[in-house]
Each structure stands twice: as C-alpha cells, then as structure tokens.
Structure 1
Amino acid sequence: MRKFLPMVTAIVLCGATGMAFAHNCPNEMKAIDAKLSTKPALSPEDAAKVSKLRADGEAYHKAGKHDESMKSLLEAKKILGI
C-alpha cells in the first residue's frame, strides 16, 4: 500500500493543477479587457482577431472547454503584447 501513496499523490496534484487553470480563464479575459480599454495601437485585422479570440475564449470557458479557452485567450494576449 505504501508503494501506491506517491503515485496517488501525483495523480491528485495533477488533477488539482488542471482545475486551477480552468478557473484562470476569467483572469485572462479581465487582462485582455483591461488592455483593450487602453485603446492599444492595433491594425484592424489584429483588433478583429483579438476580439474573436476573446469571444471564443469566453464561449469555450462557458462550455467547460478550458484548454481551448486558455489557448484562445493566450493567443489574444500574445497579439496584445501582454
């Protein structure tokens, strides 16, 4: 039984990490919104892409697809330079 304790602990910690990232989506959206409120100098194409990625991120988050949400939101942040 003692042999399984480290393995079980590792599995629990991995699951907890996934849940922590799942709840980070709103923080990423807030960061994007804050940057957008400063009216950053973006090309019309980049502005449209950021808006779409932000909206997609929120939709994925609401659908429980947090990996996809974080991917969209992090791409939007990259374009914004944050």
Structure 2
Amino acid sequence: MRFLIQIAAVALLAMAAGSALAHNCPNEMKAIDAKLATHPALTADNAAKVKQLRAEGEAQHKAGKHDDSMKSLAQAKKILGI
C-alpha cells in the first residue's frame, strides 16, 4: 500500500512539473520585454525579428501551443543574448 502511495505521489509531481513548464511562456515574455526595455544594441533586422518572435510566442501561448511558443521565445532570447 505504501508503495502505491509513493508511485501516485511521484506521478502527481511529474504531471505538475510538466504543467509548470508548459505555462512558463509568460515568464519568458517578461524576460524578453525587460531586455527590450534596456534598448539593447541590435540591428534593425534583429530588433524586428525579436519583436516578431515575441508576438508569435504570445499568440501561440494564447492558442495553447506552449511548445511552439517556447521555441519562438527561445529564438528571441537567443538573438537578445539572454
């Protein structure tokens, strides 16, 4: 019986961790916004690309496509150097 409780607890924690990661998009967007607020030295093309990727990430997040959102936001963060 104790073993089943431990397995259930581990399964519950694993699901909670997955859910938390899937909804980390807002934190990623906040990090991008904070960096953009510092007016980083970017080329016009890179600045436009970051803004485009950030907007795509937000739209994907709102559509429930969290994996796609995280990919878009990760690309924007890479350009920004964060």
| Alignment TM class, shorter chain as reference | 0.7 to 0.9
Report the TM-score when normalising by structure 1.
0.83
Amino acid of the structure 1 residue aligned with 2:35: K
Q: Percent identity between the aligned chains?
A: 66
2:22 is aligned to 22
Amino acid of the structure 1 residue aligned with 2:13: L
Helix, strand or coil: the match of 2:64?
coil
For residues 44 and 77 of structure 1, what CA distance do their matches in structure 2 show?
A: 16
1:76 is aligned to 76
What is the CA-CA distance between 1:16 and the residue it aligns to? 1.5
Alignment of 1:40-79 (within 5 A): 40-79=40-79
For residues 8 and 68 of structure 1, what CA distance do their matches in structure 2 show?
A: 30
Give the root-mean-square deviation of aligned CA atoms: 1.6
What is the CA-CA distance between 1:12 and the residue it aligns to? 3.1
In structure 2, runs of 5+ residues without a counterpart are none
Q: Which range moved further: 12-21 or 54-63?
A: 12-21
Amino acid of the structure 2 residue aligned with 1:74: A
Aligned length, in residue pairs: 82
Deviations 1:46-75 (CA, angstroms, capped at 9, x unpaired): 111101110010001101111111111111
In structure 1, runs of 5+ residues without a counterpart are none
